[in-house]
Amino acid sequence: AFVNNFGGGGTQGGSTLTQQLVKQVFFADEAGQRGLGGVPRKIKEAILAVEVERMYDKDQILTLYLNESPYGGRRNGVESGAQTYFGKSAKDLSIAEAALLASIPQQPGLYDPYNPAGHKALIARQHRVIDNMVDQGYITKEEGEKNKKIAILDTIKPESDQFKNIRAPHFVQMVRSDLESQLGKATVGRGGLTVKTTLDWRVQEKIEQSMKELFDSYLPASANFDNGAATVVDVPTGQILGMQGSRSYDYPGYGQDNAANSFIQPGSSIKPFVYSALFKEKPAGQPNYGAGSILADEPINNIYGAELNNFDNRFKGSMTIRSALAESRNIPAVKAMYITGRDATLQTIHDTGDKSYCTQGVDKQVGLAASIGGCGLKQIEHANSFATFGRMGVYKPVSSVLEVKNAQGETIKKWKDEGKQVLDPQIPYMISDILSDDSARSPSFGAGASGLNVPGVKTATKTGTSNLGNFSKDLWMNSYTPKAALSIWVGNHDTTPMSNALSSIVGPTVNNIMGPIHTEIFQKEGSWKPGDWFKRPSGIQTLSVSGRTDIFPSWYNKSQAQTGTKMTFDRVSKKKATNCTPAPARIDIVVQKIQDPVSRKTVIMASDGYDATAEDDVHKCNDVKPFVSNISASRVNATTCRVTVQVNQGTHQVTSATVSVNGGVVANRGGAGTITANAPCSAGGGTISISANVKDNALYEGTGSRTVSIPAAPNQNDDNDDDSSTP
């Protein structure tokens, strides 16, 4: 079948076997050119083919061809193909096996035995090769028919078998693919390269162990997910330290697919980058924003173009960006993109590292939905984007290769530590401060949630969920420190939705990776220590804005878009005072009037949790105040009198009562009832002044007083409660 391709015999793909050899060795990266674009290559092939045939005989050329031909995937050479598909040497192949291998080089992509879509065409091609062998007398017709009946594809070794002894196979496959793109398939295919990668096997082991524990647990069945991926990036360099692209490379059906390098919607984990764009310094005349700026969480269907809700189907009204991001509210994030502009926001997202976000197919047309994760991205890029925050706004390309040397020991590729400042350091500092604020996110996630808080390691963390209908489709958790950035995804390999799934289910896996790699690896090697965090950049302002204290960038003007005015509130309900609010419960506070930049509604913001949108609902005008009654006193002994006061509850519960005699406090208690206390009094008798003050939990007050005459103390012979005698 091959011999006929020499000289003027039959051709494969319109060229001689020698030209096929030349194309594979010298022009593999140009082989896809068709039409006029491929003419120069064809001319070069023909010229070089003449030189090859002048220097080598036909057997030598055939040997070279067999050793260079592509046999599907990344396999070059007939021996490689034989070992891959049949687990034996080429010299030991059967007729059916040899015919199958001989069929592949013509269209290795289509005829790859691991490509189910090409199986029918591959078998047809194999039968044609067998028929040619019969026609040329290499086998009999009976042998040919017998070999055609063999179910040859059933004997192919599983694709995963070839990676049984390869560590981190998803990573290895990705590195090879990247090198083919950078150095050319011909260079990589010829072999002889020595490749030094960025992989840290200690980190890789932690990833693999943690992912195994996750998929061995009850969670996949409970939440209905079957796949996952995890990537750890070194923050200082952008180098991939570990990566697993599926639940297990050996898992049947889809284990070999690399989800870490596939397009998946990130959900809310894109929001920190949306707010990063909003935090950038705006042109003169436009307001700037910081962690304490206010955006209303309210319906904005007219702006969004569709019905938009939060995960809890609630709207919380005016809230700080800190709270909005920490609690992962959708509406403020959409407003942030609306204010900055879609294109400008996407540019920031791309600059920080998510280069592929909203760049593929229909994703290019996604509008404001991009602010809440409506496009796909690659996990390895996403992890590196969070690493850009960890580098205080310096972008470095995500990398997997440190050095490549050829067979002669020459360095043909070497990693360079190159970075670009894409965000002012104040911006990632504010984002990191928010994403590490457990109190800010606790209203939605609870305090101390697993994954959001890694024991012994301070982290900044953002969750993400993408939905299909009313069900979660993708769950993310992204966590970073000054040393490492981790991104974890779980979902279904066929993109079907999950059930009962919350992003918190991957929290323990985040802990199991981020905790040990820091305390057991980085701490021991001295690249991280407990308490490590980001240094506060110069320029960051701590301001009290709208009654709340938070951090803002240096370019923020405290007085922008707000005016101050005084308003009276009720101390108890923390709402606006009414005519029924008693004087002790009233407090005057300077509030700020702020116009929402999107809805243009004016909102009033007050400090310390006071609500300027509602009125006091604790006090009623017919409330009964607490009161004092039955004030009395009697002598106990020559120097002591006993005082009794009755404290009575009104509408609200009594919280405190104080009794004084002649201006000095003699008793304090909480609650209603009778108060009895001893007080000093003169032996010679006279009067004492008794007063009482009572307060309830609505800050109503009641008072009472009485002057009581006390008789002189009896002489020493009289009976009294004093056991002492006075001469």
pLDDT in tens, 588-601: 887 877 777 787 77
The whole-number average pLDDT for the span 404-411 is: 92
* pLDDT at residue 720 tops 60: no
Q: Cα(484)–Cα(522) distance, rounded to whole angstroms?
A: 9
Long-range contacts of 676-679 (CB under 8 A, 24+ apart): 676/642, 676/643, 676/644, 677/642, 677/643, 678/636, 678/640, 678/641, 678/642, 678/643, 679/633, 679/640, 679/641, 679/642, 679/643
The whole-number average pLDDT for the span 694-712 is: 95
The whole-number average pLDDT for the span 383-399 is: 98
Q: Cα(1)–Cα(10) distance, rounded to whole angstroms?
A: 9
35 band by pLDDT with thresholds 50, 70 and 90: low
Q: Tens digit of pLDDT for each residue in 174-224?
A: 999 999 899 987 788 777 889 999 999 999 999 999 999 999 999 999 999
Return the SS3 of 462.
strand
* pLDDT at residue 633 tops 90: yes
275 band by pLDDT with thresholds 50, 70 and 90: very high
pLDDT of residue 8: 34
pLDDT of residue 38: 57
φ, ψ of residue 227 in degrees (nearest 5): -150, 165
Tell me what the pLDDT averaged over the chain comes to. 89
Indicate the burial class of 89 (C-beta count within 10 angstroms; 0-12, 13-18, 19 or more). exposed
Residue span(s) of the chain under CATH 2.60.40.10 come to: 627-710
Indicate the burial class of 425 (C-beta count within 10 angstroms; 0-12, 13-18, 19 or more). buried
pLDDT of residue 656: 94
Q: Cα(567)–Cα(614) distance, rounded to whole angstroms?
A: 12
Q: Tens digit of pLDDT for each residue in 450-508?
A: 999 999 999 999 999 998 888 899 999 999 999 999 999 999 999 999 987 788 899 99
* pLDDT at residue 126 tops 90: yes
* pLDDT at residue 416 tops 80: yes
Q: Tens digit of pLDDT for each residue in 559-568?
A: 665 566 788 9
Amino acid at the residue 313: N
Pick the CATH number of 3-163 from 1.25.40.10, 1.10.3810.10, 2.40.10.170, 2.60.120.200: 1.10.3810.10
CB 234 within 8 A of CB 537: no
Residue 201, both tokens: 């096997």
* pLDDT at residue 724 tops 50: no
In what helix (H) or strand (E) does residue 614 lie, and over which residues does it extend? Answer: strand 611-615
Count CB atoms within 10 A of the CB of residue 439: 10
Nearest CA among 323, 522, 335, 299 for reference residue 433: 323
Between 268-282, 555-569, 621-635, 667-681, the lowest mean confidence (pLDDT) is in 555-569
CB 486 within 8 A of CB 514: yes
Q: Cα(7)–Cα(19) distance, rounded to whole angstroms?
A: 10
Q: Cα(399)–Cα(245) distance, rounded to whole angstroms?
A: 16
Beta strand spans in 431-516 (E): 460-468, 471-480, 484-491
Please tell me what DSSP assigns to residue 76.
B
pLDDT of residue 305: 84
pLDDT of residue 29: 58
608 band by pLDDT with thresholds 50, 70 and 90: low
Nearest CA among 135, 104, 140 for reference residue 122: 104
pLDDT of residue 650: 96
φ, ψ of residue 69 in degrees (nearest 5): -65, 145
* pLDDT at residue 527 tops 90: yes
Q: Tens digit of pLDDT for each residue in 51-82?
A: 888 888 888 877 777 777 777 765 678 888 88
Q: Cα(54)–Cα(291) distance, rounded to whole angstroms?
A: 74
Between 56-60, 617-621, 634-638, the lowest mean confidence (pLDDT) is in 56-60
The backbone region for 409, taken as left when phi is positive above 0, alpha when psi lies in -120 to 50, beta otherwise, is left
CB 322 within 8 A of CB 291: yes
Q: Tens digit of pLDDT for each residue in 139-174?
A: 999 999 999 999 999 999 887 777 777 899 999 999
Pairing of β 394-395 and β 317-320: unpaired
For the chain, count helices (H), then strands (E): 22, 26
- The owner of tokens 């951090």 is 551
pLDDT of residue 209: 98
3 band by pLDDT with thresholds 50, 70 and 90: very low
Count CB atoms within 10 A of the CB of residue 506: 26
pLDDT of residue 341: 94
Between 29-43, 90-104, 641-655, 681-695, the lowest mean confidence (pLDDT) is in 29-43
- Helix axes of 342-352 and 271-279: crossing angle, nearest 10 degrees: 110
CB 514 within 8 A of CB 479: yes
* Angle value at C-alpha 169, between 382 and 360, nearest 5 degrees: 35
Return the SS3 of 685.
coil
CB 276 within 8 A of CB 371: no
Count CB atoms within 10 A of the CB of residue 713: 20
First to last CA, the chain: 141
pLDDT of residue 721: 45
Amino acid at the residue 321: I
Which residues are CB-neighbours of 89 under 8 A, at least 6 positions away?
Answer: 79, 82, 83
The whole-number average pLDDT for the span 652-668 is: 95
Percent of the chain with pLDDT over 90: 67
Write down the pTM of the prediction.
0.72
CA distances from 607 to 326, 574, 601 (A): 20, 10, 20
* pLDDT at residue 4 tops 50: no
Total residue count of the chain as it appears in this document: 727
Return the SS3 of 512.
helix
CB 516 within 8 A of CB 206: yes
The whole-number average pLDDT for the span 254-283 is: 96
pLDDT of residue 13: 44
Q: Cα(381)–Cα(379) distance, rounded to whole angstroms?
A: 5
pLDDT of residue 19: 78
* pLDDT at residue 7 tops 60: no
Residue span(s) of the chain under CATH 1.10.3810.10 come to: 3-163
Q: Tens digit of pLDDT for each residue in 321-380?
A: 999 999 999 999 999 999 999 999 999 999 999 999 999 999 999 999 999 999 999 999
Percent of the chain with pLDDT over 70: 91
Return the SS3 of 575.
strand
φ, ψ of residue 720 in degrees (nearest 5): -155, -175
Asked if the 627-710 domain carries CATH number 2.60.40.10, the reply is yes
Indicate the burial class of 267 (C-beta count within 10 angstroms; 0-12, 13-18, 19 or more). buried
φ, ψ of residue 696 in degrees (nearest 5): -115, 180
